[in-house]
Amino acid sequence: MVEKAPGPRGGGYVVNFSGVGYEAAGRLGILPDLERAEQPTPELVYVDESGRRVAALPPEAHAALVGGASVTLLRGDLEAALHRALSDRARLRFGTTVTRLDQDDDGVDVGFSDGTDGRFDLVVGADGLHSQVRAAVFGPEERFRADLGHAVISCLLPEPPRAARLDAAQSVGVGLVGRGVGITPTADGRCAAFFAFRTDDVERDLREGPVPTLRRVYGDLGWVVPDLLTAVAKEDSIYFDRICQIRMERWHQGRVVLLGDSAWCVSLFAGSGSSLAVGGAELLGDVLDRHHGDPSGALAAWEAEFRPLVLSRQREALRATAMFVAPNATALWLRTMAFRLSGSRPVRWAGRRFFGNNRRAAASS
């Protein structure tokens, strides 16, 4: 396994790990490790730009909406659990990328950035949204990327802003038209900060960088936002990218296969990227075992089995966009009302309908 980062990256935002990923974690034996890293399910409080509470979603209402078994944890803790599970069964090469791929019917010749090379039976490109493996084998990213008109910035801060007056059981969201802010305390006293906003020029934003972009988009807000911007500016590890989907007609070519965001990025709005990645990986291993000696047949069977779930999650992500970032005042009002009525039966039904497809697919698998 080669990874361009110099070591395990850690960090990232809080993820709700459920569905196919949760089921796969159980079969892989890492579920107890994930549960030890579980973050408490907080009360989700929505406030206006002055910090005035306008709606709240209690933990029990959140559980009723999502339904099914799940574990909430930091993305970095999920990565750490997977690394521990590898033990000595795989050779990990950090600070390394793939620079060359040449395949024939019997294998793939791979060149690496450290000057070494090797021949392999199968190459799995799990190198994310901006996949180099995808670019080398299938073509440039722009051919498969569908921008959703939004960007996201997130990072872990040493502590929550004091003015927020959060306790460990609260997560606060500032809901505005076209932009949102989220603050989630972690079990170890840190704080996950999250910003998502509409943009008509994401290339400009990315060139500008996360801190100048945050100041331009959020600099007019009060309450805890100025403190958040100051804290983020001091951090070295900040995630900043466009919110988009990757849509491909097929995920494999010969003995090269894509997995996770490199193949099907469902976007942040789906809320299931980590789960789909782990679930898809576990299923791929299972199908390769079933089709021993026939990688072509295995990859075709894997795609046929997993693609319907991915396409469903991509469609649902588009419908969920307004729940993350309200496009107008009407959508913002409707979202606020939905949270205020979160305990009602119709709202619970709608939430289960959105989140349930992932769960049902896990059960059928």
From residue 360, alpha-carbon distances to 29, 144, 304, 356 in Å are: 21, 28, 17, 6
Rg (CA), the chain: 21
Fold classified for 146-244: D-Amino Acid Oxidase; Chain A, domain 2 (3.30.9)
Q: Which residue has the tokens 């997995």?
A: 259
Q: Residue 63 belongs to what H/E stretch?
A: helix 59-66
Domain 97-144+247-322 CATH class label: alpha beta
Supply 235's token pair. 């951090």
pLDDT digits (tens), the chain, 365 positions: 999 999 887 766 788 899 999 999 999 999 999 999 998 877 888 888 888 888 888 777 766 666 678 898 888 899 999 999 987 788 999 999 999 999 999 999 999 999 999 999 999 999 999 999 999 999 999 999 999 999 999 999 998 887 667 666 778 888 899 999 999 888 888 888 999 999 999 999 999 999 999 999 999 998 889 999 999 999 988 999 999 999 999 999 999 999 999 999 999 888 889 999 999 999 999 999 999 989 999 999 999 999 999 999 999 999 888 888 999 999 999 888 887 776 556 555 555 555 444 444 433 33
Reported pTM: 0.88
Q: Domain extents for the chain?
A: 97-144+247-322, 146-244
Task: Answer whether 266's CB lies under 8 Å from 317's CB.
Answer: yes
Those residues with Cβ within 8 angstroms of residue 60's Cβ, 6 or more apart along the chain or in another chain: none
CA angle 21, 22, 24 (to 5 degrees): 65
Task: Answer whether 133's CB lies under 8 Å from 252's CB.
Answer: no
Those residues with Cβ within 8 angstroms of residue 343's Cβ, 6 or more apart along the chain or in another chain: 58, 61, 64
